[in-house]
């Protein structure tokens, strides 16, 4: 019977580790590169142009960014936002936002957040700001005041249009309900936001 010597086992282990070492180093390099990859950004002036309803100027600036960085996820996201409010083509906007989401971005809307219970569809006490739908959840960033929030998708119990007015929608988290109206002030913008929420939410 052939008997393995202690040296042959050591040689076998040495060959094995030498074989997996390049793969291990490559895998570590890929993971490190993924973790340190810079997040896509755009100039703060571009969202400001959209906020001030200067959509054509914003689109021109975004086109310049996308010429240099065709997969810039934030540029793709805000391009969808500018086109939405300029043209109000909601089906096309849904496709643009979904493309931005696949690139690592998502959807952004300029909304009015009500601080009161609705008795009609007029907003009296409210703040304005950006509603972001991204891979890590939903975030509201007010341009004034301190009523912002950020929640993961699995924390959202409901996002739906309001019964009082279909131009309004709400986000429910626990015992708290946040009420909004989109800038377009149409029934279609809440539907778009709800559709994107369902599309972006992990299954």
Domains of the chain: 40-89 (no CATH), 106-203 (2.30.29.30)
Identify which has the larger pLDDT, 175 or 131.
Answer: 131
pLDDT tier at 65, thresholds 50, 70, 90: very high
Per-chain mean pLDDT for the chain: 83
User: For residue range 79-133, what is the model confidence (pLDDT) as tens digits?
Assistant: 999 999 999 999 999 999 999 999 999 999 999 998 766 545 566 667 999 999 9
- How far CA 10 is from CA of 14, 15, 17, 40, 62, in Å, comes to 6, 9, 11, 49, 60
User: What sign for the dihedral angle of Cα 172, 87, 130, 145?
Assistant: negative
- Distant-in-sequence contacts of 91-96, Cβ < 8 A, 24+ apart: 93/192, 94/192, 94/195, 94/196, 94/199
For the chain, what is the radius of gyration of the CA atoms?
A: 24
58 vs 147: CA distance, rounded Å: 26
pLDDT of 2 higher than 50: no
Which pLDDT score, from 0 to 100, does residue 40 have? 83
Which pLDDT score, from 0 to 100, does residue 126 have? 77
Least-confidence region, from 30-44, 63-77, 85-99: 30-44
């Amino acid at each position: 019977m052939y008997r393995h010597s202690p040296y042959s086992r050591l040689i076998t282990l040495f060959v094995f580790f030498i074989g997996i070492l390049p793969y291990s180093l490559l895998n570590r390099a890929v993971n490190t590169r993924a973790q340190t990859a810079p997040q896509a950004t755009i100039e703060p002036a571009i969202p400001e142009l959209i906020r001030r309803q200067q959509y054509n100027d914003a689109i021109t600036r975004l086109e310049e960014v996308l010429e240099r960085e065709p997969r810039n996820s934030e540029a793709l996201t805000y391009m969808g936002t500018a086109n939405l409010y300029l043209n109000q083509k909601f089906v096309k906007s849904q496709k643009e936002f979904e493309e931005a989401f696949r690139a690592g971005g998502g959807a952004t809307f300029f909304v009015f957040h009500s601080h009161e219970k609705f008795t009609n569809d007029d907003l009296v006490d409210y703040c304005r700001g950006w509603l972001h739908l991204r891979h890590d959840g939903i975030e509201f960033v007010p341009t004034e005041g301190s009523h912002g929030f950020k929640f993961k998708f699995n924390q959202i119990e409901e996002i739906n249009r309001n019964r009082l007015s279909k131009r309004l929608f709400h986000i429910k988290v626990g015992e708290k309900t946040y009420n909004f109206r989109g800038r377009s002030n149409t029934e279609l913008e809440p539907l778009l936001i709800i559709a994107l929420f369902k599309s972006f939410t992990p299954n």
